Structure 1
Amino acid sequence: MYAYHAAPWSSPSSTNNGRDRTSQHQQTKQHGPSSSSGPVSETQNRCAGRACNPPMGNLALGRGLLTQSVCGVNSTEPYCSYQQMFSSTPSFHRDTSCPGAPKCSKCNAALPHQAHLASAMTDSSFRYPDTWWQSAEGVETETLQLNLETEFYLTHLILVFRSPRPAAMLLERSQDHGRTWKTLRYFARDCEDTFGLAEEARVKEKGESGAACTSKYSGAFPCTRGEVIYRALSPWYSLDPYGPAAQTQLMVTNLRVRLLQRQPCPCQAKDPDIQALPTNHYAIYDFIVKGSCLCNGHAEHCVPANGYRPARQRINHVVHGKCVCKHNTAGDHCEHCVPLYNDQPWQAANGIIGAPRECKKCKCNSHADSCHFDRGVWLASGRRSGTVCDVCHHNTEGRHCQSCRRGFYRHPSRPSSAADSCTPCACHPVGSRPAISGGQDLCNPSNGACTCRSGVGGPLCDRCIVGFWGFHGYGCRPCDCTGGDCDPYTGDCLSGSDLDVYYTGGDSHIHRGPSSSELATLFRVEELFSALHHSEKCQCKVVPIGSPKLFCANEYDYVLMVRIMAARDQGSHAEVEVKVKKVLYHGSQVNIKKGHITLYPESWTTRGCTCPLLNPGSEYLVGGHEDRRTGRLLVNTKSLVKPWRPSLGRKLLHLLNKHCSSSSSSSRKTATERLQNANVFSLQKKN
């Protein structure tokens, strides 16, 4: 009996002849072991974590079978044949028994009840047990060919003859849709005489062991219901069914059977009266091609492939050729990975140990829809990862889409996988220069900070700083004015209250501001003093205003609104040139007026940059102390430095006048009167 269950490559019994297997192969012909279109949910469970394969079935079912001839094509043809004798005796004990006299009838391909077409070989053996194909009378050779729409696995072939089996025949297969053919097996009553081959000897083809010849299935008895069986794997477990060697041996796109030599039933020779009857033809009941969909161990369910044309409508149990892939694989045969799972090289599953060898997902940080495997990258990583992401989205770039592309920076509050993690740089394209030497990014790709050109200021590098004019692609040029200030657009000198006179500490000496050439020099070194350009060196702690009690306890000697103009490195210390825009408060020992003064950051000598931050071109509210010995206005880590806002000025005026006590009430009154006379409460209008 045949066994079409359990192991995927199980094969039928090798018994030569016999009626006792007919009912079993009829069941296989109609149904196969199970339907090849099982529920998807079950498929998912069967393939989870292990190799899997679609069920086997009859590849000929539902497909057209081609022959060279059919009886009764041109006209009605008479024919005679031997009918099967029913007996409880096994057929291999009756091989030399004659089943009585032959019975004669007529064949006409145009009449359904007399037609014996090729489709009869692939119909249901249960519904139509006595249908067969028959060749034209008198043909010496015949060819049967099955063309498949895609690649399948062939495990074995079963032919059930109505006429005596041929004395010689060939089984051939093609793996390239009929362009080339290879012989799988030679069948002959006498291998040596017919093919020049010894029994079971293999033909050498291109240095490889080729097809063997067997006489097992070429005897004239039985005169009907004789079988021919071919097994592609014997034993099946000696080979990984999904490996390259198995594909070479099992994969098929076309199957061809060449019937080379008829032989009469020996019973005819015993009766001279029936020797002249028309029995010179081939006739076959069943053509069963056992196989399965080719899925490389990554699917257990298949659907119709492109090019499939059913031989008849509403036919069940067809073995289809397009895999419903699992294990993150894709393709008609699960022969490659899905677009975003190419971190490792694709592999077929291992059918011996059951390892699925799933495709691994690429690490593209959710910014790519596909990736490809790069062998060089894979080898360089020690065979750990070969990911190269394709077409990075969301303004990212890099092998893993891990970097922001030019003109964008990584937003600090967004995860790297977020679609908006790369934010456009806001730096002015004219006033900015590449943030990294030799690069092209207009802002720092890690934090978005802008790097201004010479004479340009502002957080976005979008305007000239004080003392410079003519915003253009090379920066801003220094003002050519006695006072230093000029119109930032025209370069016209400004006069009057904008003259750059400044005071330092309690010193009554008047100091002239730096000349235009000195301002240019100061700007060139201002980057040395700004934590904006040296964030790796300066991590300044911001001093909060705090409660009224804490604020007043600081006893600041001055509270000013200033614009940072430039800075100068004096070796032992640094000087920052500022323009006083408003005087909110100064102590009795400190005399400060509007104009240019110098602040002295103490942190320069110990840290190499200014803390708190004082960026050229920006306006700040600054509160600090005076060095009593030198009269210098100091800026240190205890100083209050905040970006200027009118609301912040109003808040500090309220604290100074309502909460902070002084050494004498007269000093407090003098300060209050000075503030009122200067109209500093009107802070909504910014200078």
Structure 2
Amino acid sequence: MKVLRVLQVMLFIAFIKKWSSSEASILRMRSSDLLSASLPVDPCYDEFGNPRRCIPSFVNAAFNKDVKVSSECGSFASRYCISSTDEKGETIHNCHICDKSNPKLRHPSAYLTDLNNPNNVTCWVSEPFTSEAENVTLTLSLGKKYELTYISLQFCSKKPDSMAIFKSMDYGDTWHPFQYYSSQCRKVFGRQNRATITKANEQEPLCTDSNSDPTPGGRIAFSTLEGRPSAYDFDNSPVLQDWVTATDIKIAFTRMNALPPRPQLETNTLGGDFGVGGEEGDDLLEYNNDTDTSNLLMADYKPDNSYFYAVSDFSVGGRCKCNGHASRYGAALLRNAISENGARVAIVKNFSEGVAHFCFVNFQDSFIRAIYMKICRLCVHNKKGQLVCDCKHNTAGRDCEKCKQFHFDKPWGRATAHDAHECKQCNCNLHARRCRFNMELFKLSGRKSGGVCLKCRHNTAGSHCHYCKEGYFRDHTKPITHRKVCKPCECHPIGASGRICNQTTGQCPCKDGVTGLTCNRCSKGYQQTRSPIAPCISKHCDH
């Protein structure tokens, strides 16, 4: 009976162990499934893992970015007036106070790129000026190359008569005209009004007179590709790809239309933002104890405070320039690591919707924590803090504009809808760490391979380190990738006529009467001598 009870206990323990093992396997599978489910689909590759073009999301690249302005009202309390027409057709001048020291009455450059809320309009305002011709600039740095679709300016004042949009492709070192606006294009900018764009001049900036509406609150919207013939074949137009690329944008206001003479004056005291978003009497309450500023607001209208520029929204629509090799939805990157308590974890780093997810997964304890870190709207930051694309397809660079190291077997190309132009790794048979691209070799290969290996190691040579260098021969018992695939010739210093053997067979060049792979013995019918010149002579030589 005791033996039977012992057997029952042993069987029960074995069952428990087997059940525990199965349950643990299920738990591990669930953890693995959960990890797999957490990994996003990489838009740079299809469901079969084949590379395809991918692009970052379309954004307002100017949102919340700093804008450098050459003029801003409020250094000292000053008045500016906006003209409008009433129902009788009479001009009314609504006057406001600008003062940087008062949060309700300031109009900083930050208002250019903040959230554009129509129920609470915020406006940047320049210093009022006395002449209708006054140069004021707005300079926006995007921090990286973008491909722009439009540039939009929403005005609080009336639109200026003449202005220009410039772009830089080198972070502000040089500037190029993007678009001109003027009622007198030729006189102000030396440009024909509404010129025709052809394929021969697709990178030419235009000048248009469609900016003459005197009504306050107008908008100027510049479409970078409108009217340019190759816009419908953008993928195959390097000219237009270059045309829409910019790292910085500069707006130059050059002239404001003159206003009509003063017929009537109406003061406005509804806050600092053109009567929107403030409480009635804000200005007067704030300045009740300030005789000078109260008088400033109630003073008679003068033309010298009617000239100013005011913008409520500065938008730049476009995509981070990644040449079709990156998307803000980057593939998850996995690597093993050891946590503080010694447990092995996998770190999942994923860039998605402008958020980087760092998930620390412990395969013993399932998920232990997740950290969410805001990176940026479109791109990620490199170690220098610069905006960069999260490059795929074996590309590299801030804009994925080149192939990454050791992937030069094909020329770099911008990804298109038909070809992802994935960079191909050089074939150096594990004997080199560097390579370069050779176009002639690429053409000779039928456009299949143009990589040339540099500094072949392990005594190999050739564009692919695919044969042995002089003085060495191939060991056919080892694969070409083996580090000892090339053996030294070891030609006999006396029996061989040279030190270089056949790189395939290893046969050394032997002197007359000498034989052997290394020329180390006399041939049949020959005898050895002491002469280094003729180490072997025929036994049948006549004396």
Please give the per-residue CA displacement for 1:231-288, whole angstroms capped at 9, x wherever unaligned.
001278513246312223211233211111224777x855256643844321111111
- Residue 437 of structure 2 corresponds to residue 373 of structure 1: yes
Shift of 1:290: 1.3
Cα separation, partners in 2 of 1:198 and 1:378, compared to 1, 3 Å: closer
1:91 aligns with none
**For the Cα contact (< 8 Å) 2:64–2:110, is it kept in 1?**
no
Aligned AA for 2:111?
Answer: A
- Residue 129 of structure 2 corresponds to residue 69 of structure 1: no
**For the Cα contact (< 8 Å) 1:220–1:265, is it kept in 2?**
no
**Cα distance between partner residues in 2 of 1:300 and 1:413:** 47
Shift of 1:162: 1.6
1:163 aligns with 157
Cα separation, partners in 2 of 1:419 and 1:263, compared to 1, 3 Å: same
Cα separation, partners in 2 of 1:257 and 1:464, compared to 1, 3 Å: same
**For the Cα contact (< 8 Å) 2:434–2:454, is it kept in 1?**
yes
Shift of 1:315: 8.1
- Residue 506 of structure 2 corresponds to residue 448 of structure 1: yes
- Residue 270 of structure 2 corresponds to residue 276 of structure 1: no
Cα separation, partners in 2 of 1:97 and 1:240, compared to 1, 3 Å: farther
1:299 aligns with 326
Cα separation, partners in 2 of 1:200 and 1:269, compared to 1, 3 Å: farther
Which of 411, 429, 433 is matched with 2:496 structurally? 433
- Residue 61 of structure 2 corresponds to residue 59 of structure 1: yes
Which of 177, 190, 200 is matched with 2:194 structurally? 200
2:178 aligns with 184
- Residue 382 of structure 2 corresponds to residue 341 of structure 1: no
Shift of 1:289: 1.2
* Number of equivalences: 414
**Cα distance between partner residues in 1 of 2:377 and 2:90:** 37
* Paired residue secondary structure (2:410): coil
**For the Cα contact (< 8 Å) 2:506–2:517, is it kept in 1?**
no
Larger Rg: 1
**For the Cα contact (< 8 Å) 1:202–1:211, is it kept in 2?**
no
**Cα distance between partner residues in 2 of 1:260 and 1:242:** 36
Q: How does 1:56-455 map to 2 (within 5 A)?
A: 56-73=58-75, 75-81=76-82, 102-108=94-100, 110-125=101-116, 129-138=120-129, 140-189=134-183, 191=185, 194-195=188-189, 199-201=193-195, 210-221=204-215, 223-224=216-217, 226-234=218-226, 237-241=231-235, 243-263=237-257, 269-271=262-264, 275-276=301-302, 278-301=305-328, 316-317=376-377, 321-350=387-416, 353-428=417-492, 430-431=493-494, 433=496, 440-441=499-500, 443-450=501-508
Cα separation, partners in 2 of 1:400 and 1:205, compared to 1, 3 Å: closer
Cα separation, partners in 2 of 1:98 and 1:107, compared to 1, 3 Å: farther
* Cα root mean square deviation, aligned: 4.3
Shift of 1:520: 2.4
**Cα distance between partner residues in 2 of 1:128 and 1:387:** 60
Aligned AA for 1:300?
Answer: S
* Paired residue secondary structure (1:45): coil
**For the Cα contact (< 8 Å) 1:410–1:421, is it kept in 2?**
yes
Shift of 1:423: 2.5
Shift of 1:205: 13
Q: Percent identity over the alignment?
A: 29
**Cα distance between partner residues in 2 of 1:53 and 1:95:** 51
**Cα distance between partner residues in 2 of 1:447 and 1:476:** 25
**For the Cα contact (< 8 Å) 2:440–2:450, is it kept in 1?**
yes
Shift of 1:155: 1.4
**Cα distance between partner residues in 1 of 2:522 and 2:236:** 72
**Cα distance between partner residues in 2 of 1:419 and 1:119:** 62
**For the Cα contact (< 8 Å) 1:374–1:387, is it kept in 2?**
yes
**Cα distance between partner residues in 2 of 1:131 and 1:315:** 27
Shift of 1:398: 0.9
Please give the per-residue CA displacement for 1:402-449, whole angstroms capped at 9, x wherever unaligned.
111133221121111222222334445x345357xxxx52x4422434
Aligned AA for 1:296?
Answer: N
**Cα distance between partner residues in 1 of 2:462 and 2:470:** 12
Shift of 1:454: 7.0
Shift of 1:334: 2.2
**For the Cα contact (< 8 Å) 2:203–2:243, is it kept in 1?**
no
Please give the per-residue CA displacement for 1:93-148, whole angstroms capped at 9, x wherever unaligned.
x999999862523312x554443222221223359943332211216221111234
Aligned AA for 2:399?
Answer: H
Q: How does 1:485-500 map to 2 (within 5 A)?
A: none
**For the Cα contact (< 8 Å) 1:172–1:257, is it kept in 2?**
yes
* Paired residue secondary structure (2:537): helix
Structure 2 unmatched ranges of 5 or more? 1-38, 267-299, 331-372, 381-386
Aligned AA for 1:60?
Answer: A
Aligned AA for 1:77?
Answer: S
**For the Cα contact (< 8 Å) 1:166–1:261, is it kept in 2?**
yes
**Cα distance between partner residues in 2 of 1:95 and 1:191:** 33
**Cα distance between partner residues in 2 of 1:314 and 1:128:** 28
**Cα distance between partner residues in 2 of 1:45 and 1:146:** 34
* Paired residue secondary structure (1:159): strand
**Cα distance between partner residues in 2 of 1:446 and 1:569:** 35
Aligned AA for 2:67?
Answer: L
**Cα distance between partner residues in 2 of 1:96 and 1:298:** 60
1:500 aligns with none
* Paired residue secondary structure (1:239): helix
Q: How does 1:622-637 map to 2 (within 5 A)?
A: none
Aligned AA for 1:276?
Answer: K
Q: How does 1:675-686 map to 2 (within 5 A)?
A: none
Please give the per-residue CA displacement for 1:15-36, whole angstroms capped at 9, x wherever unaligned.
xxxxxxxxxxxxxxxxxxxxxx
Please give the per-residue CA displacement for 1:301-335, whole angstroms capped at 9, x wherever unaligned.
399xxxxxxxxx97852656522222232222222
Please give the per-residue CA displacement for 1:157-179, whole angstroms capped at 9, x wherever unaligned.
01111222112111122334444
